[in-house]
Chains A and B, each alone.
Chain A
Amino acid sequence: MNITHRLLLRRRLDRFPASPPAASSEEGRAGYRIFGSVNGVCVEIRRPRVGKGLATHVMLFSSEQDFLKWCEAEPLRFSNPFLHAKLMRHGCALLATRPSAPASA
């Protein structure tokens, strides 16, 4: 057993060559990943909700102003201030270094 399954599994993994995030952090089931994007930066944030389940949100920010507005509203600010501070720092740093967006994005 079972060469077919081995090959199938390898093919399934090879078909998905994920590229890594520019920054990430996690504590337990909560965490975030930040990626560079043609539209600015992309943030994926994952937060468990006790007794309810897990919610993950992926969103784009083209300006530091929009990013900070969202950071201010994000509940992680109160539930996990340390993680939230890291997220803000990483996001602002990436937005500051990103090349200008193409004219017809």
Chain B
Amino acid sequence: MPSSPPDLQHPRLRDLVASPDYFARVSEVTLKLDSARNVANVADHLKEAVDRLGADVGAFVSYIVGHRDQSFRFFLACDPRWYVEYEQSAWYADDPWLEYASRHALPILARDIPIGDAAQGAIVRIAERYGFSSAVVVPAPAGRDLTRLGMLCLGSREPAYFDGEAFRSVSVAALPLALSLLDWSTRDARHELLRSTLLHPEDLYLLELVRRGRSTKEIAKALDTTTTSLNSRFQRIIAKLGVPNKGAAAQLAAEYGLI
């Protein structure tokens, strides 16, 4: 976590993070996420957490990397016209902050993230216009070999607001929040997937066996059935999930925490 010398600290943020209940107040909101019943609860909690962390604006995105049909879900605690302007000139897969979050686990000051080309520079300038003049990027990695990831971004309209030692405190308080937001998003996506595909528990059991590397022959033998019957079952699962093969079906089920 690179940081600037202590004398660059912003007095408002420095005083806030020095207060004895700073971490407890952020944790209190983080814990509320576990019982959030819909996206509105999550958006409310995010807004509250952004305030308690000392930021002016915030955004959380969960996404799956490396898939042909990419999916990005944002919770915004900032002016929503940000994404309208953003999508006019760019797509999220090209975002330098998301690129960082896809490859790293530690929070970073956004200004320390290298900008690859003019398009990435334009993306950052749009963020600056919408309240992220100074920003902290907090990755939320899913772990293992899964590709569903999250990124929490905290912003301030004041340049260099997060510079200095306060950055470390903000990072430590924000990491569990980012992970909890990712956990909620994954649970919600899982619920939606089960609702929309009507997968049976038996389907999930089969996908778990595929995920463990069992061949169709082995599975058929273990379940005392034929490979023809099993392949037919796999075809139905593949169709329900809209993926090309049973390996991809097992991967998708794992991404959503179903197996």
Chain A contact residues, CB within 8 Å of chain B: 1-2, 5-6, 8-9, 12-13, 15-21, 33, 35-39, 41-42, 44, 49, 52-60, 69-70, 73-75
Contact = CB atoms under 8 A, between A and B. Distances in A.
Interface string B60-95: 000000000111111111001101100100011100
Given A55-B72, A70-B80, A60 B43 contact: yes
A2 B69 contact: no
Interface residues on B, range: 35 or more
Contact of B73 (A33, A38, A39, A56): A56
8 contacts: A1-B223, A15-B187, A37-B44, A42-B44, A53-B70, A55-B72, A56-B73, A60-B47
Contact of B191 (A13, A35, A54, A74): A13
Given A1-B202, A55-B83, A57-B74, A42 B39 contact: yes
B194 interface: yes
Contacts of A55: 71-74, 83, 87, 92
B201 A6 contact: yes
B70 A59 contact: no
Interface in B6-39: 37-39
Interface string B202-230: 10110000000000000000010000000
Contacts of B44: 37-39, 42, 60
Grouping DSSP codes into helix (H, G, I), strand (E, B) and loop, the B interface class, with mixed when no group exceeds half, is helix
B157 interface: no
Given A18-B37, A60-B47, A52 B201 contact: no
Contacts of B93: 52-53
B118 interface: no
Contacts of A70: 80-81, 84
Contacts of B223: 1
